[in-house]
Amino acid sequence: MYLTRRFYFSMLFIILLLSSGYMFHTLFLMGQLLLGLYLLAIALDVFLLYRVRGITASRQCPARLSNGDDNQIRLRVESSYSFPITLSVIDEIPVVFQLRDVCFHLKLSPGEGKTIKYTLRPTRRGTYAFGHIRVFVSDRIGLVQRRFTCAEQEKVKVYPSFLMLHRYELLAMSDNLTEIGIKKIRRVGHQTEFEQIKEYVKGDDYRTINWKASARRHQLMVNVYQDERSQQIYNVIDKGRVMQQAFRGMTLLDYAINASLVLSYVAMRRDDKAGLVTFNEHFDTFVPASRQSGQMQTLLEKLYAQETTYGETDFSALCVHLSKHVSKRSLLVLYTNFSNLNSMNRQLPYLQQLSRQHRLLVVFFEDSELKEYINRNPVNTEEYYRHVIAEKFTYEKRLIVTTLKQNGIYSVLTTPENLSIDVINKYLEMKSRQLI
C-alpha cells in the first residue's frame, strides 16, 4: 500500500486546523470531526481497493527484437473493479536502455481494459531482460494506492535488423525497390552450370557425353547445361577495433551486419548465392554461399553473436583461409574502415591478392559528423585550423577510393545510415555490367 499526495495534503490541512484550536476552540472541534471522517475515508479506500484482485496486466513483446529499429511493445491492462479507477503503469524495461520514466497514466471504467503501445530502439545485439509490470491503482477517494505486480520476467534476443529485411521483402514483392533508391537491372547469364543427364540424340555436342553414365546405361548419355545465373556473393566483415566506432548509438559493425543481411536477401532474390565470412585477429566465421530456403535463418543466427575486438585485423589470415574455403571466383563485399591512407596502404597487398582471385568490393565509411562540421563557417583562428584538419581527413578518404581504383579494386565510400542502399546499388551495378 502506498500513500498518495492527496493523503499528505489532507493530513497537513487537518493538522493545521487542530493547531489553530489553541486560539479558536471551534476550529479544534472541526479538526477532530474531520480527522474522524478522514480515518473512515482511509478505511473505506483500503477496503474498496483490497477486497478483490482487481487488475490483470500482460506484456505482448515480439519473440525477438530488431537491432536499430523501432520495435513495438504492447501492454494490456484490464480492470475487474466495479467502480472507476486511475492507474499508473510502469513497465520494467531492460536496463541497457537506461530509461527510468516509462510510466503510463490512464483511467479505466468498471470492467474496462486498455492496450498501451510504446516502442523501443535497441542499439546492441544480445539478450535483453524485461522485468515485471507494476500497476498502481487508486479510486475516486484517492488517499491510498494499491500496487499490483503483473507479468513474468522474460528475456528477448535482439537480432540484426530483420525489420529492414521485411521492408525490402515487401518492396521486392511489389517490384517497388526504386522507391528507396535501388536501381533496376536486367538479369544476365554468360556462364553455364550443370542441369541434368539425358539420352544422346542426333545433334548433341560430343563434348558433353558423360562416359561414366553411358557405361552404366549401355547407351550414350550427355550432360545438359544451362546458362548460369547464380554467382557467389560473400559478405566479409571486419570485426577489429576499427569497427567499434559508434554512430547514433550503433557501432559500424552493427551497420555492416544489417547491410550484409539485406544484401544477402537481395542477392538470393536475384538468383545468386549468399555466404558470410567474419575475421579479426584470425579467421572466424564461414558460411558457404547458398540460396537454399534456410540460408537466411542461418545467416541471421551467425550474425547475431558477432562482436568487435580490440585487436588489429589480420588480412593475411583472411587471404589464406579464403583460398582454402572459396575456390570459385566470387564477389567479396568487404566491410572495413580505414582511418587514413597509411592504414589502407598496410593492407593493400592483401587486398590486391584477394582482387586477383575474386571480384573485390571494399566498403568503408566516411564520418557524417565530420562533414557537418566542415560545412559550418569558422569564426576564429582555431576554427580555421580545425577545418583544415577535418578537410585533410575527408580528402584522404577520397584518395583511398582513387588508390583502390588504380589497383583494380572496387570501393564504396558511404555514411552508416546510407550503407545498405549504397551497397545494394553497387552490387546491382556490378551485376548489370557482368563484373561478377
pLDDT, one tens digit per residue, over 199-236 is 888 878 888 899 998 998 888 999 887 545 678 999 99
Helix ranges, 71-173 (H): 162-173
* Among candidate residues 43, 264, 40, 268, the one with its CA nearest the CA of residue 161: 264
pTM for this model (two decimals): 0.72
What's residue 170's pLDDT?
Answer: 43
Average pLDDT over residues 356-371: 88
359-365/410-414 β-pairing: parallel
Q: Where are the domains of the chain?
A: 8-50, 55-159, 162-187+230-432, 191-228
Cell numbers describing residue 67: 537491432
Average pLDDT over residues 251-265: 91
- With a pLDDT cut of 90, the percent of the chain lying above it is 39
| Residues making up the chain, counted from first to last | 436
Selecting from 3.30.70.100, 1.10.1740.10, 3.40.50.410, 3.30.565.10, what CATH number does the domain 162-187+230-432 have? 3.40.50.410
* Whole-number Å distance between alpha carbons of 45 and 138: 8
What Rg, from alpha-carbon coordinates, does the chain have?
33
* Among candidate residues 279, 261, 248, the one with its CA nearest the CA of residue 66: 261
* Whole-number Å distance between alpha carbons of 344 and 332: 17
pLDDT in tens, 393-425: 888 889 999 999 999 999 999 988 889 888 988
pLDDT in tens, 102-115: 889 999 999 899 99
Residue 308 has pLDDT above 70, yes or no: yes
Residue 174 has pLDDT above 50, yes or no: no
Q: Which CATH superfamily is domain 55-159 in?
A: Immunoglobulins (2.60.40.10)
Q: How confident is the model at residue 352 (pLDDT cuts 50, 70, 90)?
A: very high
Residue 125 has pLDDT above 90, yes or no: no
What's residue 44's pLDDT?
Answer: 92
